[in-house]
């Protein structure tokens, strides 16, 4: 059974001036457990709105979202959304360890070995030694890792990530892409990823959905079958990689194509 199912979802909202904006036109898709899927699309096409709606933070205007067979009417317990503005979502008053422990606490784990679990997660994201630092003491990339560790501490079945690496420099981005894949392989969480970076999407995912402009719909459903584990050098060097990239790029930049 698909772990996440979006059925004919559409979402519009009222602007301050009173006009209605249709962000999502009509989206239907299915995600199997353990898959890594990505949405790509032109900027402003409503990707964030889509994730917020799937995460239960916004209500659909029509259609519905099913997580684990249950309809979403509020933030589902098995799902966590990682926000684009990760620095604003981290808790400034808690250390790295405290932030990651929060994920466990939210799960209901206030046990003694919670600290131990938190530490191993911090190690997993590569931040060993920074447990007692505060978020403001860390770089952007490190803050993002804390946010990821915190989300993983919650042990969600589905992890939604809203352009998590968008504001990082290119090298950090590559590093985190691999770190994420490592975590995903190990923990077997389902990941729904949004990015404007087509190559990143191809590199990471099992499947890509290309979105149209607003009101967005899925214009293309592309399975990615490069072998895993992926490699920054060899995978990206394959001829098909560039073909796929060009195809998607054309798809996005040509609004007429549907």
Partner 1 sequence: MRAQKISGLLFLVGLMLAWESASRADLMNPLIVPHLSRILGIFWDMLWSGAIPMQILLSMKRAAMGYLLAAVVFIPLGIVMGLSQGTYRALEVIVEMLRPVPPPVVIPVALLFFGLEDEMKVFVIFFSCAWPILLNTIDGVRNIDRVLLNTAKTFCLSRSQTIWRIILPAASPQIITGLRVSLPIMLILVVISEMVGSTDGIGYFILDAQRRFKVAQMYAGMFALAILGYALNQVFNLLHRRLLSWHWGMMKRDLE
Q: Which residues bind partner 1 (CB under 8 A)?
A: 52, 55-57, 75-77, 79-81, 83, 85, 88-89, 91-95, 102-103, 106, 134, 136-137, 154
173, 165 Cβ separation under 8 angstroms: yes
C-beta of 24 vs 96, nearer to partner 1: 96
C-beta of 83 vs 130, nearer to partner 1: 83
Q: Is the dihedral of CA 101, 107, 110, 113 positive or negative?
A: negative
In the complex, least distance from residue 138 CB atom to partner 1, rounded to whole angstroms:
12
C-beta of 30 vs 94, nearer to partner 1: 94
**Long-range Cβ pairs for the range 68-71 (8 Å, 24+):** 68/3, 68/157, 69/1
Angle ∠(164,170,176) on CA atoms, nearest 5: 45
In the complex, least distance from residue 157 CB atom to partner 1, rounded to whole angstroms:
13
In the complex, least distance from residue 166 CB atom to partner 1, rounded to whole angstroms:
15
Q: Is the dihedral of CA 22, 27, 33, 39 positive or negative?
A: negative
In the complex, least distance from residue 15 CB atom to partner 1, rounded to whole angstroms:
17
C-beta of 94 vs 230, nearer to partner 1: 94
C-beta of 52 vs 202, nearer to partner 1: 52
Cβ neighbourhood burial of 256 (10 Å; 0-12, 13-18, 19+)? exposed
In the complex, least distance from residue 77 CB atom to partner 1, rounded to whole angstroms:
5
Q: What are phi and psi of 179, to 5 degrees?
A: -60, -40
């Amino acid at each position: 059974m698909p772990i996440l199912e979006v059925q004919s979802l559409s979402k519009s909202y009222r602007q301050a001036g009173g006009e209605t904006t249709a962000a999502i036109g009509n989206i239907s898709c299915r995600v199997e457990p353990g898959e890594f899927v990505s949405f790509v699309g032109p900027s402003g096409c409503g990707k964030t709105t889509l994730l917020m709606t799937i995460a239960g933070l916004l209500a659909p205007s029509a259609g519905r979202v099913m997580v684990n067979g249950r309809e979403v009417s509020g933030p589902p317990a098995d799902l966590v959304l990682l926000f684009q503005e990760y620095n604003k979502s981290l808790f400034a008053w808690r250390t790295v360890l405290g932030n990651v422990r929060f994920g466990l606490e939210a799960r209901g784990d206030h046990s003694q070995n919670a600290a131990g679990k938190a530490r191993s997660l911090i190690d997993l994201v590569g931040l060993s030694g920074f447990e007692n630092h505060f978020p403001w003491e860390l770089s952007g990339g490190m803050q993002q890792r804390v946010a990821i560790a915190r989300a993983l501490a919650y042990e969600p079945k589905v992890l939604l990530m809203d352009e998590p690496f968008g504001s990082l420099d290119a090298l950090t981005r590559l590093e985190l892409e691999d770190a994420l894949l490592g975590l995903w392989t190990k923990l077997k969480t389902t990941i729904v990823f949004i990015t404007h970076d087509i190559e990143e999407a191809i590199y990471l995912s099992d499947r890509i959905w290309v979105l149209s402009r607003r009101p967005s719909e899925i214009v293309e459903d592309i399975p990615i079958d490069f072998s895993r584990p992926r490699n920054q050098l060899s995978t990206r060097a394959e001829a098909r990689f560039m073909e796929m990239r060009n195809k998607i790029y054309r798809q996005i930049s040509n609004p007429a194509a549907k």
